[in-house]
Amino acid sequence: MFANLTNKFQTILRKIKNRGKLSEDDIKNCLHEIRIALLEADVNYKVVKEFINDLYIQIQQEKVSESLTPAQQIIKIVNKEITKVLGSKQNNITMNSKAPTIILLAGLQGTGKTTTAVKLGHYLRGKGYKPLLVATDIQRPAAIEQLKILGVKSNLPVFSMGEKESAVNIIKGAIKYSKKNDINVLIIDTAGRLHIDEELMNELQEIEKDISPQEKLLIVDAMARQDALNAAKIFCDRINISGVILTKLDGDSRGGVALSLRKALGVPIKFIGIGEKIDNLQVF
């Protein structure tokens, strides 16, 4: 995902690799090129500004300009700052000690929420769990049907109660069903919208209040770039998002979106979607 960005960093640092001590101008020019590389990788400009400021402070504190191996020190500092933003540990699903674990998936229409629900179900089944996909998008009957079709293709059970019950009542029904059928994970495919509206947010807040899911994962389309970050901030302001699943990362040119989301939202990226196949979901 970060291959292009890594290559750009290597090219930038190669320019100063064989130099002795670096002048203040050398360091500023290097940071300027890193800034451009981050912006070209779709990292949000505010995140870039803060990241570069943090780098400069670290470079000054470690007295890189006086070092005999300044390039190696800058590489170390850059890696340290990126790791600080993204985290050094994988953030997997938090499982409830008492079944079922309830995982709510939220996001705008078109982000890949329904297909991600199926991929996540497949992933958890591979870990030995018994997942149930729960269809709660009563605004779009086609979404319920899509989940059922994908469930059949993937050999994953799907629970629905049609279009007339509320999302909360459907989830309560799914909880009862799970206890009778030895199911230990519920994956809730919530309603999507083409844009954020009060009805969507109120429904999510109602689910959060009445159901208390163990995980509330926001599905974000990496191709949406700046719009992805803006929408994610609104979701995080309204419900207590516990993590992000970043979809449509088939190519590596958009890896900067991950940096932006992690830095701006302060929640972990738990999975990334790297293709359309059912097993194209990776722990981040």
Give the model confidence (pLDDT) of 194-227 as tens digits: 777 888 899 999 999 999 999 999 999 988 877 8
Q: What pLDDT shows up at residue 202?
A: 92
Q: Could you tell me what percent of the chain has a pLDDT over 70?
A: 95
pLDDT digits (tens, 9 = 90+) for 220-268: 998 887 788 888 998 999 999 999 999 988 754 556 888 888 888 889 9
Architecture of domain 3-86: Up-down Bundle (1.20)
Q: What is the pLDDT of residues 11-40, one digit of tens each?
A: 888 887 777 677 888 889 999 999 999 988
Q: Is the dihedral of CA 88, 271, 238, 222 positive or negative?
A: positive
170 band by pLDDT with thresholds 50, 70 and 90: very high
Query: Superfamily for 101-283?
Result: P-loop containing nucleotide triphosphate hydrolases (3.40.50.300)
pLDDT tens-place string over residues 127-159? 999 999 999 998 887 889 999 999 999 999 999
HEC profile for the chain? CCHHHHHHHHHHHHHHHCCCCCCHHHHHHHHHHHHHHHHHCCCCHHHHHHHHHHHHHHHHHCCHHHCCCHHHHHHHHHHHHHHHHHCCCCCCCCCCCCCCEEEEEECCCCCCHHHHHHHHHHHHHHCCCCEEEEECCCCCHHHHHHHHHHHHHHCCCEECCCCCCCHHHHHHHHHHHHHHCCCCEEEEECCCCCCCCHHHHHHHHHHHHHHCCCEEEEEEEHHHCHHHHHHHHHHHHHCCCCEEEEECCCCCCCCHHHHHHHHHHCCCEEEEECCCCCCCEEEC
What local confidence, expressed as pLDDT, does residue 1 receive? 59
pTM: 0.86
Residue ranges of domains in the chain: 3-86, 101-283
